[in-house]
Structure 1
């Protein structure tokens, strides 16, 4: 009898704790637009963002809903207007990458559809206008003096490229993050940068994710941006915040 009572009491206590957690308001750490800050944009490339890109069938709906193409351009503009350095972390696959012996589901898909393919890491032959190339409207910014293009990441996160090194070498400790795609490269960059001691805010509508019949990558990404980053901005909110500076 005593054991049954204790179990009931324990279950009641757990239930009350769960209700308290469910009713608790999430804290707002906030993110000040000041100090050694940079904008980081992942994969602003044709294969993700153009109707001609190989991934458009999966991400196009989300791109259109979020106004992602224009919002990413706004991030480039904000960097230029406010003297904030911009870092681009691209995604490229070279012939040797197609020799990998094992892959995750979407890695395999990307290789199968030749996403982000480039002829060579030491040649730009065939790059112009390919799926690996930048969206045309971004080129004027990427070719500008305040943009650093890191080496390519290979799966989703920046562990395999020099993004963190480039940020550290320029004295950056705060990052505003956007780009493609939300629940893969953007989220992976957010997690890794946070683990490496950067303060990170995400611009939720300057990204987009695959939406499939039984999977909503955009919804998953936005939830994790909210739960993990210091601040989840809309592009409009970010523009407003920067206008105050």
Structure 2
């Protein structure tokens, strides 16, 4: 295992984006990967989050750019395929019936208002290609290869409303390398539920990003909670190294 999995007083600061944090004060259990039961899970690798044409780019774009999130997710997707590690995608789609909910939380309301991830129905792909709900074009060879597991959509933030845990369990997987969008929403919610379900989870801190608006920094909030909760917090480079060593 690399030094990233061992906490000690001499451990250097970890830097992602514009943030800097020192790890010595918090235990770092680490994650010793076993090829037979590890998977890469990526949430919402979709245009509305990761493309300059996406509806959220105005609030996430700077953080996506600083972190090189698009490139780092791409490295993780490639490494999963190159090293024969199962890849799972947990997407976000909204159908017309979802816009008839009687109540929403703050960002649920926003997502509905800006028509984020909209599709005409679960069985209708009209105008899907290139839409905000579609994958980034450069990710399609990895996701649409017939091997990647694409779960049913999560509806708010966590996998409680989709079949991700079922799909992982059916493959005998209990270790997850987690990345995707958005850091303090879907990624963190997936982390929390996977931990409650008994999975070991390492989060790839620069293969995610979040909204940053005056007075609120979703990425910094997520990074704090990732370190408090996850088995480990890796960079994309560290994650690729770990996968390549299997």
* TM surpasses 0.5: yes
Correspondence for 1:159: 160
Superposition deviation, residue 25 in structure 1 = 2.8
Report the Cα distance in structure 1 between the residues aligned to 2:130 and 2:85, rounded to whole angstroms: 28
Report the Cα distance in structure 2 between the residues aligned to 1:86 and 1:31, rounded to whole angstroms: 18
Superposition deviation, residue 195 in structure 1 = 0.2
Correspondence for 1:131: 132
SS for the counterpart of 1:151 is: coil
Unaligned regions of 5+ residues in structure 2, if any? 1-23
Moved over 6 A (4+): none
Structure 1 residues 121 and 243: CA distance shift in structure 2, 3 A: closer
Correspondence for 1:70: 71
CA RMSD of aligned residues (A): 1.3
Superposition deviation, residue 27 in structure 1 = 1.5
Contact 1:80 1:146 in 2 (8 A): no
Q: Deviations over 1:67-106 (max 9, x none)?
A: 0000011111011011000000000000000000000010
- Name the structure where helix makes up a greater proportion of residues: 1
SS for the counterpart of 2:111 is: helix
Report the Cα distance in structure 2 between the residues aligned to 1:179 and 1:244, rounded to whole angstroms: 22
SS for the counterpart of 2:207 is: strand
SS for the counterpart of 1:178 is: strand
Superposition deviation, residue 243 in structure 1 = 3.3
Correspondence for 1:11: none
SS for the counterpart of 1:200 is: strand
Superposition deviation, residue 134 in structure 1 = 0.4
Correspondence for 1:25: 25
Give the alignment of 1:110-121 within 5 angstroms.
110-121=111-122
Report the Cα distance in structure 1 between the residues aligned to 2:91 and 2:180, rounded to whole angstroms: 10
Report the Cα distance in structure 2 between the residues aligned to 1:209 and 1:91, rounded to whole angstroms: 16
Superposition deviation, residue 146 in structure 1 = 3.0
Superposition deviation, residue 145 in structure 1 = 3.6
Contact 2:83 2:244 in 1 (8 A): no
Contact 2:79 2:244 in 1 (8 A): no
Report the Cα distance in structure 2 between the residues aligned to 1:238 and 1:160, rounded to whole angstroms: 27
SS for the counterpart of 1:39 is: strand
SS for the counterpart of 1:208 is: coil
Unaligned regions of 5+ residues in structure 1, if any? 1-23
Q: Which has the larger radius of gyration?
A: 1
Report the Cα distance in structure 2 between the residues aligned to 1:231 and 1:212, rounded to whole angstroms: 27
Report the Cα distance in structure 2 between the residues aligned to 1:140 and 1:58, rounded to whole angstroms: 28
SS for the counterpart of 1:202 is: strand
Contact 1:181 1:209 in 2 (8 A): yes
Matched, 1:109 2:110: yes
Q: TM-score, normalised by structure 1?
A: 0.89
Superposition deviation, residue 32 in structure 1 = 1.1
Q: TM-score, normalised by structure 2?
A: 0.88
